[in-house]
Amino acid sequence: MSFLNFPNRPTVMFDVTDKDHRRWLGDFTRTRSWANCPVKFYNIGAGNNVAQMQLRLLEYYTNQEFKA
């Protein structure tokens, strides 16, 4: 499936607590393609959008692993 199949994908804020958002970011990390993602992500923050999402994902799993 190519990007052209989703010309009007809704734009949503990345939510690390959303299982689908984590899965789509994981798919992108493995394939380097958003082709199978039905949404476009935006992220409030400075810098690279993907890097910001990956940082939030790392923090999410680190907090689960090392709960206070």
Global pTM?
A: 0.80
Q: Can you tell me the distance from the alpha carbon of 5 to that of 29, in angstroms, rounded to the nearest whole number?
A: 20
Number of domains, the chain: 1
Q: Can you tell me the distance from the alpha carbon of 32 to that of 25, in angstroms, rounded to the nearest whole number?
A: 10
pLDDT for the residue 47 = 76
User: Domain limits at 42?
Assistant: 3-65
pLDDT in tens, 2-46: 555 556 899 999 999 999 999 999 999 999 999 999 999 987 777
pLDDT for the residue 58 = 95
pLDDT for the residue 4 = 52
